[in-house]
Amino acid sequence: MPIYEFKCKNCGHEFEIIMRASASKEDVTCPKCQTKNPDRLMSSFSAGSASSGSGFSAASSCGSSAFS
């Protein structure tokens, strides 16, 4: 099962949770302060680079930046 990393919006605590695919992150609770719905940290995927938010899956992860 995949391990997801979360960061609590309230206290900033980062933790890992093994989640089933059917589980939603709204059910995740911070183990420190019990705040629900933490931010998800994408560890196994390319994090932060594709932030256009237009819903396309970044298939070309090998960046073509600075290639002119």
Question: Which of these ranges, 5-13, 19-27, 42-50, 60-68, lies near Zn ion under the rule CB under 5 A?
Answer: 5-13
Cα–Cα distance, 63 to 7 (Å, whole number): 27
Residues 3, 23, 33, 42: which binds Zn ion (CB under 5 A)?
33
* Two tokens, residue 56: 């396309």
Question: Which of these ranges, 20-28, 34-42, 44-52, 57-65, lies near Zn ion under the rule CB under 5 A?
Answer: 34-42
Give the number of other CB atoms < 10 A from CB of residue 7: 14
Helices (H) and strands (E) in the chain, counts: 0, 3
Residues lying near Zn ion in the complex (CB under 5 A):
8, 10-11, 13, 30, 32-33, 35
